[in-house]
Each structure stands twice: as C-alpha cells, then as structure tokens.
Amino acid sequence: MSHAPPLPYAGIRVVEFTHMVMGPTCGMLLGDLGAEVIKVEPIAGDDTRRLLGSGAGFFPTFNRNKKSIALDLKKPEGVAAALKLIASADIVSENFKPGTMKKLGLDYDALRQRDPRLIYVSHKGFLPGPYDHRTALDEVVQMMGGLAYMTGRAGDPLRAGTSVNDIMGGMFGAIGAMAALRQREQTGEGCEVQSALFENNIFLVAQHMMQFAATGKAADPMPSRISAWGIYDVFTVQGGEQIFLAVVSDKQWAIFCQAFGLAEMQADPRLATNNDRVRARDWMMPILRAHLASRSAAELSAVFERNELPFAPIVKPQELFDDPHLNATGGLAPVRMNDGSESKVPLMPFTLGGQRPGLRLQPPLLGEHTDALMKEVGYSDAEIAALKAGGAAA
C-alpha cells in the first residue's frame, strides 16, 4: 500500500502575528505545504472574523491549516507567553504597522538575540525608504503604483477586482521564508525577510514600465489599449449574453474564418497577418460582431472549443462553486465559515506529485488551541487558568 510523501515543510513551526490578508496568506501557503502554523490572535480575535461586505470571506479563505492561540500582547504575561511560543518556532511572521513589534519586544533585532537561527518575515506597505512611514492598503498602492491607472479607463483609475497585492505580497513573504530556510541549511543562521505591497505592485506593472522603455510610448490603460491581437474581445451575442473570444495567430485566423463561413475575410489581403488585422480593427470588428451576434454563447463556446481556439464565458465569482473543472480536479475543499456553516474554498493552484496541497485543519475557532499550545511550551494547568483569569489569554 503506497503512502503519500510528507509535505515539504512538515516539521517547520511558524508563529504568526497577522491579520487581514497579506500576513495570513503567507501563513496559509506555508501551512498548506505542511508547516505547523500558530496564529496568535488578540483576545477579541482577528477582526476578519467579524468583517462584513467584501471582507466577509477573508478569514475562512486565508486561515486554513492553522492553530489559534489568543493572547493579550498589551499585558506582560501575554508577551511572555508569546516569547515561549516563539522559542519553539522556526519562523515568525507579522504584518503590524512599523514599530508595533518593537514596542512589544517582538521585533527581529530582539528575537535574534534569543535565537540566531530564527527566520522573521515582516509584511509591510513599503520596504525601508522614504515611504515606509505611510499607512498602506492594497488600494493605496494600486493607485500610486500604476495598476489602477492601467485597469481603469482613461481618467477613471480603478482598483483590480481582488486583493492582488495583499495576496501576492503574502506569497512573496512565503517564498522569502522558503529561501531563508534553505539559506539557514547552508549557513546555520536565520535572517529577516521583508515583503511589501508597494514593491509587489511595481513588480506587477513592470511589463508596462518596460513597454515604455522599449518603445518610448506610454502604455494606455487596458480598456483603451491597442491590442496586440486582431481579435481579443468581449462579444455581446444572442439574448444579451457575453463571451470573450480570441484569435491570436494567423493559423487561428484561418481556422476561425473556416469555422464561421468567413471565406471572403480570410482571402482579404488587408487581413492577411495579425498585425494587418490589428490595424484593421476599426472596420473589421463591427463586421465580426454583427456576424456573431445571432449565435448563443453556448454555440460559440462549442465551436471555439472544438477548433481549439481561445474563449471564455463571462463568469461571476459565486458561479465558480459549481464549476465542473474545479470540482472534478479537487480544486475546492469543504471549509468552515465564520458562522459555523460549511462552504467550499479554492485550494492552491498547483499540484505536488499530482495532488493539490489540501485542507488538513479547518480555520480555527478563536483560541481553539490555547491550552494545548501553552502546555506544550511548559505552562501548567494552574498557570494557564491564572493567565485566563487575568485576561492575558483566552
């Protein structure tokens, strides 16, 4: 009988002081890959347990495969308990405002004196520099980092439709932690890893910066850009449905024309190459839109799929719970929501040995593992009870 190999970071302990999205994403990724991740929460719990609107799904999305301990870090007893926990850790991860961890005596400089092998991951708005005193949010750095300009229409900057910098910033924090673990194997020393929203955003828009460097022309916002492809558009079709269709090579153009009875357009020398079709978009696209308008999105999908042409239905996020591909490939796992109900959550978008890293621990209840973890680092039942009575733990 074969057994699955251990996950790559099994045996690594992470203690995280994180909230919202960026820091929790780092811990989730390490936890999905086998690390034991301990989430240190305030007595009232991570605020994302209570958010409404667009934040209502944050906690169950980014806090699976973790344990929870509730400590009041404003009390010396709470900090002392955190230090005992950190003494057992390989990695500490935090995303508080600059200076917060130093005030608590939990900054990297203080902790490395106790354990030079410790890896410390700090998630911030900006890397050290002229901006590092500013309070940053995903939307802030999208506005100042060119992403909102590129996403919106000219004169109407628009943030991307998800927390791209928070999520990717957490991912880069995890990648940095992985690199630091490898470096520790070589040197015996830990180090501080820093990941930041602004620098992550700059990485995302680098292609547009380099487009200017290569061409001398500023990149237009995506809604008004000159497409690199002749056909690369959303079409409104039968019944008002919409579908994205793309034809991105000369071979695909021939296939497309044959599939939809466009022999005259295929033979038109003005449309012979992709660049010709880009230059002809002003008069070509109205003809194509009219030609396809009477067909249903399902019919167009079938023709494009049969001919191996790129296409996509326009899908709303809530419709993805029923996506046949996600469900058939194990891309969704049962997860406990904040109110105790059950839903499904997307797993990491990669496989190891053919398997998605799965959900081993449900998002923890507040303080669910406080007693067990405190006993593990040397507290007696009486000492734990005293800490709880004094409000330093819950």
Q: Are 197 and 161 in contact (CB under 8 A)?
A: no
CA-based nearest residue to 313, from 325, 298, 331? 298
CA 188/CA 376 separation, integer angstroms = 25
The predicted-structure confidence for 187-206, as pLDDT tens digits, reads as follows 999 999 999 999 999 999 99
The predicted-structure confidence for 40-90, as pLDDT tens digits, reads as follows 999 999 999 999 999 999 999 999 999 999 999 999 999 999 999 999 999
Three-state SS annotation for the chain: CCCCCCCCCCCCEEEEECCCCHHHHHHHHHHHCCCEEEEEECCCCCHHHCCCHHHCCHHHHHCCCEEEEEECCCCHHHHHHHHHHHCCCCEEEECCCCCHHHHCCCCHHHHHHHCCCCEEEEEECCCCCCCCCCCCCHHHHHHHCCHHHHHCECCECCCCCCCHHHHHHHHHHHHHHHHHHHHHHHHCCCCEEEEEHHHHHHHHCHHHHHHHHHHCCCCCCHHHCCCCCCEEEEEECHHHCEEEEEECCHHHHHHHHHHCCCHHHHHCHHHCCHHHHHHCHHHHHHHHHHHHCCCCHHHHHHHHHHCCCCEEECCCHHHHHHCHHHHHCCCEEEEECCCCCEEEEECCCCCECCECCCCCCCCCCCCCCHHHHHHHCCCCHHHHHHHHHCCCEC
Confidence at residue 225, expressed as pLDDT on a 0 to 100 scale: 77
Confidence of residue 379 (pLDDT cuts 50, 70, 90): very high
CA 386/CA 369 separation, integer angstroms = 17
Burial pattern 105-128, b for ≥16 Cβ within 10 A else e, equals: ebbbeebbeebeebbbbbbbbbee
Domain with CATH 3.40.50.10540 in the chain: 13-205+330-389
Confidence of residue 93 (pLDDT cuts 50, 70, 90): very high
Confidence of residue 2 (pLDDT cuts 50, 70, 90): low
The predicted-structure confidence for 264-275, as pLDDT tens digits, reads as follows 999 999 999 999
Confidence of residue 231 (pLDDT cuts 50, 70, 90): very high
The predicted-structure confidence for 98-107, as pLDDT tens digits, reads as follows 999 999 999 9
Domain with CATH 3.30.1540.10 in the chain: 227-317
The predicted-structure confidence for 323-361, as pLDDT tens digits, reads as follows 999 999 999 999 999 999 999 999 999 999 999 999 999
The predicted-structure confidence for 163-178, as pLDDT tens digits, reads as follows 999 999 999 999 999 9
Q: Is pLDDT above 90 for 307?
A: yes
Domain topology for 227-317: formyl-coa transferase, domain 3 (3.30.1540)
Q: What pTM value is reported for the model?
A: 0.93
Confidence of residue 216 (pLDDT cuts 50, 70, 90): very high
Confidence at residue 1, expressed as pLDDT on a 0 to 100 scale: 47
CA 133/CA 144 separation, integer angstroms = 15
Q: Yes or no: is domain 13-205+330-389 CATH 3.40.50.10540?
A: yes
